[in-house]
Amino acid sequence: MGEEKGGEEKIMFKKILIANRGEIALRVMRACRELNILSVAVFSEADRSAPHTRYADEAYFIGPSPSTESYLRIDKILDVAKKSKAEAIHPGYGFLAENENFAKAVEGAGIMFIGPTSKAMALLGDKTAARQTMSKAGIPIIPGMEKPLRNEEEAKKIAEKIGFPILIKAAGGGGGKGMRMVENKSGLQSALKGAIAEASSAFGNPAVYIEKYLLHPRHVEIQVLADNFGKVVHLNERECSIQRRYQKMIEESPCCIMTEDLRRKMGESAKKVAKTAGYTNAGTVEFLVDKNKNFYFLEVNTRLQVEHPVTELVTGIDIVKEQIHIASGEKLRLKQEEVWLRGAAIECRISAEDPDNNFFPSTGRIEEIVDPTGPGIRVESGIFEGYEIPLFYDPLIAKVLAWGRDRQEAIVRMQRALSEYKIKGIKTTIPFHKRILSHRDFLGGNFDTGFLQKILDTPLPKEQNEEIAAMAAAIIALKEEESPIIKESKETMSNWKKVSRWMMLRR
Amino acid sequence: MGEEKGGEEKIMFKKILIANRGEIALRVMRACRELNILSVAVFSEADRSAPHTRYADEAYFIGPSPSTESYLRIDKILDVAKKSKAEAIHPGYGFLAENENFAKAVEGAGIMFIGPTSKAMALLGDKTAARQTMSKAGIPIIPGMEKPLRNEEEAKKIAEKIGFPILIKAAGGGGGKGMRMVENKSGLQSALKGAIAEASSAFGNPAVYIEKYLLHPRHVEIQVLADNFGKVVHLNERECSIQRRYQKMIEESPCCIMTEDLRRKMGESAKKVAKTAGYTNAGTVEFLVDKNKNFYFLEVNTRLQVEHPVTELVTGIDIVKEQIHIASGEKLRLKQEEVWLRGAAIECRISAEDPDNNFFPSTGRIEEIVDPTGPGIRVESGIFEGYEIPLFYDPLIAKVLAWGRDRQEAIVRMQRALSEYKIKGIKTTIPFHKRILSHRDFLGGNFDTGFLQKILDTPLPKEQNEEIAAMAAAIIALKEEESPIIKESKETMSNWKKVSRWMMLRR
Amino acid sequence: MAYLVSVQNKTYRIEIENHYSESREDIYSLLIDGQPKEVGVSVVNKPGHLSLLLANESYDIEVDKEEDGYYVSMRDETYHVRVEDERVKKVEREMGRHKSGVLAVKAPMPGLVVAVEVKAGDTVEKGKGVVILEAMKMQNEIRAPKEGVVKEIIVHQGAKVNGGDVLVVLE
Amino acid sequence: MAYLVSVQNKTYRIEIENHYSESREDIYSLLIDGQPKEVGVSVVNKPGHLSLLLANESYDIEVDKEEDGYYVSMRDETYHVRVEDERVKKVEREMGRHKSGVLAVKAPMPGLVVAVEVKAGDTVEKGKGVVILEAMKMQNEIRAPKEGVVKEIIVHQGAKVNGGDVLVVLE
């Protein structure tokens, strides 16, 4: 595969270390397996039997369960890379994926980092500096600060200057951590405190900054691929406005307010952002789009996104494989005009959180899984039957994707998939996704980043089958009373429930 | 959806009866659910808790487990259709799907049959008559008989006339049942006996006929959709040469020897066949293609095929939904030039059969299922954990499909999927599919309908990890000796194995 | 056998008159608020997984028993169902049991107490935050489920708690 | 503890010298044909499902015990492994047990006997069909696994048999 150029033959990697866990580690290992590349896993104490440890060809223990002692330890991961003779490292998302020191250390060790250079990452990782750079290059940005906030006094001044509502954001990382919307002056102090605390704990960096909060904005991002020879293509947009606490929950492509003209403009802007930053490999340029279809550059996610499969479904491109090809020194294998956009795709992120209890993390043992299947459905999952969800990591356990010839078909398939998906033993966000997927405004494509609050404020639809539920429970109650065998089973049932509920850590 | 024409508004069905079981019943019910149509299941004694009985909105008991007393009982199924007020019946494949008496009875009851008219079915169901008709219409056919065989004497005469090798085929149905290849005179008598016996038991019709057996032919079929207004489109080809005992095991699209020119010619021939027969709804026109890319009409499968998802993956068309739209009286929603052919797709049929023991049917209880997931994988399955495979029906339990940007990517994804797919408690054909998928000639696209015998004649590849296997077994043996807890578990393990092995019928 | 079965705000009286096994399923004849029903029941692959047929309508049902009753899932919805034996209920009613006015606010899952936002003696409104718990890197505010007076603070800042541990007692 | 472990045509002598539990896995120190190995073992979700680490190579392994030994599955292959305790083996060897010359041809699965193709006293070659069994609508010929003389016919045409039932006895 891959073109050869200038007499120098590019040789595909033989072994790649995946510095991550969960579904994304499996995703990358699957790409490796399809490319006939050996994969090296790293695992913490809690992850000795985790899927990624078992799926890999090699697996190395890197420390205790807390990520600060394992998945965030640059030194240990580099040690494993050297010991295993891995030629490249894929960071996945989260953990060290956007840590420029990690990228720099990998480069310094003579190992390929599957992502941008540490230099591009540093430039884009400083969100305020990045906005300045891009603004100078002619990319529209949202009014706001040019530097991290120094103190509360400054915050007040700036907020008054650009006008409420404002958004406080962490300078050191993305993903909604350390982010707070402030509606008026009175909420500023506590929001600032909360944002700084969260930013410190999530990124080890308390720096935050302020920007204008747009009303009814949609979060629309452009996926780009850039090779090491200055060539950039974009793979169309993803609509990611369905967010809770600035965490994306549902993503789709195409965006239903997109026009050919707007797509071309945003695509060109995204490519310009990548070129301006000297960006290479896969990246995502995030924009906000307001009611009048003006778009504003937000930031670049300098890594593979959680929601990358949405784009894979509508373009047929395996983004992880392209990342590997690019990192191995190949030229881009696609021209812009060869990028399709066929049909529509949606992703729902399934988390181990209880939507009926304020989205509290749910831990426990997975008792049974029935994956949704059939036409148009794809699952990316990091769990298995018998798996005990560890406390230490992100609660995302699986992603369900649906493809359809149009948005309507993708939606009905997703509804079906959510209905078929059974994960027993823990609470998940599946019921909440069902609510979103049946909401009139979601179906009509009529939403913005504030949509989720609307869902939470909408009363639950009336349940249909109360009589049937009553009869089923009465029948089970009778079975329990009558049959010693059933009674025993009931005991077991009730017991594993308890175990799953109160079990704190996996052994 | 669907166009309205001539002032008459077409109204989509509200309720459809699915006269089938297993994965195909689920497939149709999923389409119904996505179209917001209620589904009605019929079930036999053995299928009270089967997936299709539970997935449907309504379910009706139709008799004892043997299909002759349930799924083949036209009277009972029509009774259910009337009782449930179903407006249409989808027959799936197998059972009554190609039974013209059933189609006629459904028409007579004022219910829509989701398939061709009984008249078209009758014309095409008589394979010998169909070949005559098509030959007269200018479609190339294989030299052979024009009528069913009257006796052994006639068989000898004809075989000598067209020359060995010959093929004996059932006149009353397809799917490889009642089919025998005969290499020379001495094998004729016993093959004839076997074919007649199998044809009788499979189709209730002992009629067989003889045709010339082509050397190194490939089995290539064209999927067509035809509406009730004379419009026909084809959805490209499927390559189905990987067969065992004339039963397809692996199908793919596109066919790797196909050229644009040949596709156009075969597509036009297929459309002509459909028009000549007055065919409506979805159908498949089967051809043999010889080494010189001459193609010969074989027969029309007047139903949804097992392998229809292969075409769905490369065209993005939901064939079952299109069937329902057509049956409801809509015009075709696609023009020929709107039919895509993107990437490549492969299907492996997973059966409950033991490839290490001459493909003997394997019954028992499914202990654990891990479905393959990740990019490009689709599963259509009719089993669940705890399911006991009944003896009475076809051993097909699931289909795995892989899509890739090209054939090579589809293949590596299928290899990965087969590797990930875990079905415990019974024997399946998964290991055999792995052998095929790694065979040089399969990878090179260099095969014909005789390929499978080649696989069977190829020695098994040397196993790699004998030492590891030895150590694992020794460790388990030690655990069993040492730990009373493990011992107990081992007992359980060994017990459920026995149960699954020797359990004859589900209770 | 008669049960009082509560779902949402409704209570049904369900009297199971008769039940017997056929080869493929069990048949239950019952009265629900006096209306006769015949239900076909087949256990699928676990005691709590039932396939119900009611006048040929098919319901694929999972029943999970928890401490506070049954959770019955079907057709995209989960119902919280409480089942009481009519005789037991009667006895209880006669004994005139009173509900306690004390309410323990419990940790919904394991985590680290980042802050305690109330002190003993405080009057709190329903929805007022009482404790901030950090778990899976997220800070979560535990709120008062009803108004009351803080009787006792059980945990302190920095404490690690298990799910179900009492954090604060309200009165 | 020493085992004689046979896979395919090879037999390994495996001596497990030592094993102990660490927090995340069990460590086995063993000699395989005299070569020392250290294996990290973690039980995944069932007793027979192991995750093995051998010098950081990762093997996801399923071990199923059947009547004729262990079936060990990993990396797309399944190995039939027989494990014998060295001491037991030694005793057996000393007792000089002989193999019986009688072989029962069994039904590999339940079905209907459509035809019996041999009669008592017939000499059959290896691979000769003895019984035709119909199951799942397919007719399957059961063949002699070795050459011999038919000693006894156990089933008759039209009989329904279970998997494992003896059909014919060869000598």
Which contacts (CB < 8 Å, 24+ apart) does range A123-130 have?
A123/A277, A123/A278, A124/A277, A124/A279, A124/A299, A124/A300, A124/A302, A125/A98, A125/A100, A125/A172, A125/A173, A125/A302, A126/A171, A127/A169, A127/A171, A127/A174, A127/A209, A127/A299, A128/A171, A128/A209, A130/A277, A130/A299, A130/A300
Q: Tens of pLDDT along B183-240? A: 999 999 999 999 999 888 888 889 999 988 888 899 999 999 999 999 999 999 999 9
User: What one-letter code names the amino acid at A356?
Assistant: D
Q: What is the mean pLDDT of chain C?
A: 87
Report whether C156 contacts C171 (CB < 8 A).
Answer: no
Q: Which residues of B touch D3 (CB under 8 A)?
A: 474, 477-478
Rounded to whole angstroms, how far apart are CA atoms A331 and A4? 8
- Is a pLDDT exceeding 50 seen at residue B499? no
Q: Which residue of C47, C78, C83 is in closest CB contact with A474?
A: C83
- Is a pLDDT exceeding 50 seen at residue B507? no
The pLDDT of residue B496: 36
Closest approach of chain A CAs to the CA of D14, in angstroms? 24
A474 forms bridges with which residues in the sheet?
none
Residue of A278 and B160 predicted with greater confidence: A278
The pLDDT of residue D128: 82
CB contact under 8 A, D137 and B394: yes
**A–D: how many Cβ contacts below 8 A?**
39
Rounded to whole angstroms, how far apart are CA atoms A20 and A22? 7
Give the pLDDT band of residue A502 (cuts 50, 70, 90): very low
The pLDDT of residue B464: 81
Pairing of strands A15-18, A88-90: parallel
Mean pLDDT computed over B142-158: 87
- In this structure, how many other beta carbons lie within 10 angstroms of the beta carbon of residue B260? 8
User: What one-letter code names the amino acid at C29?
Assistant: S
Query: Phi and psi dihedrals of B127, rounded to 5?
Result: -60, -40
Rounded to whole angstroms, how far apart are CA atoms A203 and D50? 36
Give the pLDDT band of residue A293 (cuts 50, 70, 90): very high
Instruction: Show Cβ contacts of residue A268 under 8 Å, excluding neighbours closer than 6 positions.
Output: none
Report whether C118 contacts C42 (CB < 8 A).
Answer: no
| Below-70 pLDDT ranges, chain C | 92-101, 136-138
The pLDDT of residue D93: 67
Length of chain C: 171
Rounded to whole angstroms, how far apart are CA atoms A124 and B455? 55
The pLDDT of residue D145: 77
Q: Which residues of B touch D81 (CB under 8 A)?
A: 469-470, 472-473
Instruction: Show Cβ contacts of residue D152 under 8 Å, excluding neighbours closer than 6 positions.
Output: D120, D168, D169
> Given A73, A263, A303, A506, which residue is catalytic?
A303
Per-residue DSSP letter, B100: H
Q: Does B392 touch chain C (CB under 8 A)?
A: no
B345 forms bridges with which residues in the sheet?
B253, B403
The pLDDT of residue B2: 38
Q: Which residue of C42, C44, C60 is in closest CB contact with B386?
A: C44
Q: Does B316 touch chain A (CB under 8 A)?
A: yes
Q: Three-state SS string across chain D, please?
A: CEEEEEECCEEEEEEEEEEEECCCCEEEEEEECCEEEEEEEEECCCCCEEEEEECCEEEEEEEEEECCEEEEEECCEEEEEEEEEHHHHHHHHHHCCCCCCCEEEECCCCEEEEEECCCCCCEECCCCEEEEEEECCEEEEEECCCCEEEEEECCCCCCEECCCCEEEEEC
Letter string b/e over residues A66-81, b meaning 16 or more CB atoms within 10 A of that residue's CB? ebeebbbbbebbbebb
Q: Which residue of D25, D46, D51 is in closest CB contact with A54?
A: D51
CB contact under 8 A, A48 and D51: yes
Best of D23, D42, D44 to mutate (most A CBs within 10 Å, chain A): D44
3 state SS of A288: strand
CB contact under 8 A, D110 and B504: yes
Q: What is the mean pLDDT of chain A?
A: 90
Report whether A235 contacts A339 (CB < 8 A).
Answer: yes
Q: Three-state SS string across A192-251, please?
A: HHHHHHHHHHHHCCCCEEEEECCCCCEEEEEEEEECCCCCEEEEEEEEEEEEECCEEEEE
The pLDDT of residue B492: 39
Q: Does C25 touch chain B (CB under 8 A)?
A: yes
Report whether B439 contacts B381 (CB < 8 A).
Answer: no
- Is a pLDDT exceeding 50 seen at residue B501? no
Give the pLDDT band of residue B135 (cuts 50, 70, 90): very high
Q: Out of B121-135, B326-340, B346-360, D82-96, which region has the weakest mean confidence (pLDDT)? A: D82-96
Residue of B140 and B450 predicted with greater confidence: B140
- Is a pLDDT exceeding 80 seen at residue D151? yes
The pLDDT of residue B493: 37
Give partners of D (≥3 CB pairs < 8 A): A, B
3 state SS of C74: strand
Closest approach of chain C CAs to the CA of B367, in angstroms? 10
Annotation says A303 is catalytic = yes
Q: Nearest Cα to B343, choosing from A29, A33, A263, A403?
A: A403
Q: What is the mean pLDDT of chain B?
A: 90
Does the CA dihedral B324-B327-B328-B332 come out positive or negative?
positive
Q: What is A421-449 written as a DSSP string?
A: -EEESS--SHHHHHHHHT-HHHHTT---T
* Prediction pTM value: 0.84
Closest approach of chain A CAs to the CA of B169, in angstroms? 33
Q: Tens of pLDDT along A132-152? A: 999 999 999 988 877 889 888
CB contact under 8 A, B393 and D59: no
Residue of B3 and A13 predicted with greater confidence: A13
Q: How many angstroms separate the first and last alpha carbons of chain B?
A: 45
Q: Does A399 touch chain B (CB under 8 A)?
A: no
Q: For A61, which residue in chain D has the nearest alpha carbon? A: D56
Within a 13 Å sphere around the CA of B259, how many CA atoms are in the beta-carbon half?
Answer: 8
Q: Nearest Cα to B347, choosing from B267, B411, B429, B299?
A: B411
Q: Nearest Cα to B169, choosing from B140, B137, B135, B126?
A: B126
Q: Tens of pLDDT along C24-33? A: 999 999 999 9
Before A206, cis peptide (omega within 30)? no
Closest approach of chain D CAs to the CA of B350, in angstroms? 15
Residue of B293 and B8 predicted with greater confidence: B293
CB contact under 8 A, D57 and A57: yes
A181 forms bridges with which residues in the sheet?
A167
Q: Out of A403-407, B24-28, C145-149, which region has the weakest mean confidence (pLDDT)? A: C145-149
Q: Which residues of C touch B387 (CB under 8 A)?
A: 45
Give partners of C (≥3 CB pairs < 8 A): A, B
Mean pLDDT computed over A321-343: 96
| pLDDT cut 70: percent of chain A above it | 93
D-C interface (Cβ pairs under 8 Å ≥ 3) = no
Secondary structure element (H or E) that encloses residue B233, with its range = strand B232-244
Report whether B214 contacts B198 (CB < 8 A).
Answer: no
Q: Tens of pLDDT along B323-352? A: 999 999 999 999 999 999 999 999 999 999
Q: Does A497 touch chain B (CB under 8 A)?
A: no
Closest approach of chain C CAs to the CA of A469, in angstroms? 6
C138 forms bridges with which residues in the sheet?
C135
The pLDDT of residue A414: 98
The pLDDT of residue B495: 37
Closest approach of chain B CAs to the CA of A200, in angstroms? 34
Length of chain A: 507
Q: Which residues of A touch C28 (CB under 8 A)?
A: 471, 475
Residue of A54 and B200 predicted with greater confidence: A54
